[in-house]
Amino acid sequence: MKTRITELFGIKYPIILSGMSWISVPKMVAAVSNAGGLGILATGPLSVEETRKAVREIRELTDKPFGANLALMFPGAIDNAKVLLEEKVPVINFSLGKGDWLVKKAHEYGGKVAATVVGTRHAMRAQDYGCDAVIATGHEAAAHGEALTTFILVPTLVDALNIPVIAAGGIGDGRGLAAALALGADGVAMGTRLMTTQESPLHNVYKRLSVEKEATDTLFSTRFDGLLCRVMKTDAAEKAIKRGLDLPAAFFNAQEITRQIKVPFWKVFAGVMASGWKSARQMAFLANAFKAIRVATEDGDTNEGVLPVGQVTGFIKDEPTVAEVIERMVAEAQEIQKRLTGQMA
Q: Give 73-81's long-range contacts (Cβ < 8 A, gap of 24+).
A: 73/97, 73/282, 74/44, 74/286, 75/257, 75/258, 75/261, 75/263, 75/268, 75/283, 76/46, 76/47, 76/48, 76/261, 76/262, 76/263, 77/43, 77/44, 79/48, 79/263, 80/43, 80/46, 80/48, 80/51
The predicted pLDDT at position 65 comes to 98
The predicted pLDDT at position 269 comes to 66
Contact 34, 12 (CB under 8 A): no
Average pLDDT over residues 327-336: 97
More confident residue, 256 or 205: 205
Average pLDDT over residues 65-91: 94
pTM reported for the whole predicted model: 0.94
Contact 263, 287 (CB under 8 A): no
Q: What percent of the chain has pLDDT over 70?
A: 98
Average pLDDT over residues 181-204: 98
The predicted pLDDT at position 256 comes to 83
**What rounded mean pLDDT belongs to the chain?**
94
pLDDT, one tens digit per residue, over 264-296 is 776 766 776 677 878 888 888 889 999 999 999
Phi, psi at 207, each rounded to 5°:
-65, -45
200: helix, coil or strand?
Answer: coil
Q: CA-CA distance, 251 to 253, in Å (whole number)? A: 6
pLDDT, one tens digit per residue, over 102-156 is 999 999 999 999 999 999 999 999 999 999 999 999 999 999 999 999 999 999 9
20-29, 265-274, 336-345 — which one is most confidently predicted on average?
A: 20-29
The predicted pLDDT at position 272 comes to 67
Average pLDDT over residues 311-315: 96
The amino acid sitting at 301 is: D
> What is the maximum span of the chain, computed from C-alpha positions, in angstroms?
66
Q: Considering just the CA atoms, what is the radius of gyration of the chain in Å?
A: 19
Q: CA-CA distance, 65 to 194, in Å (whole number)? A: 18
Nearest to 131 by CA among 112, 153, 149: 112
Q: CA-CA distance, 119 to 68, in Å (whole number)? A: 22
278: helix, coil or strand?
Answer: helix
Average pLDDT over residues 300-321: 97
Q: Is the pLDDT of residue 188 over 80?
A: yes
Nearest to 192 by CA among 134, 165, 232, 136: 232
Q: CA-CA distance, 138 to 310, in Å (whole number)? A: 10
Q: How confident is the model at residue 42 (pLDDT cuts 50, 70, 90)?
A: very high
Q: CA-CA distance, 94 to 19, in Å (whole number)? A: 10
Domains and CATH numbers, the chain: 4-202 (3.20.20.70), 214-299 (no CATH)
Evaluated on CA atoms 267, 268, 274, 275, the torsion sign reads: positive
* Residue spans of beta strands (DSSP E) within the chain: 15-17, 39-42, 66-71, 91-95, 112-117, 133-137, 165-168, 187-190, 218-221, 229-232
Q: Is the pLDDT of residue 305 over 90?
A: yes
| Torsion angle (degrees, nearest 10) of CA 67, 75, 234, 252 | 150
Phi, psi at 135, each rounded to 5°:
-100, 115
Q: CA-CA distance, 25 to 115, in Å (whole number)? A: 20
Q: CA-CA distance, 84 to 75, in Å (whole number)? A: 16
Mapping DSSP onto H, E and C, the string for 136-167 reads EECCCCCECCCCCCHHHHHHHHHHHCCCCEEE
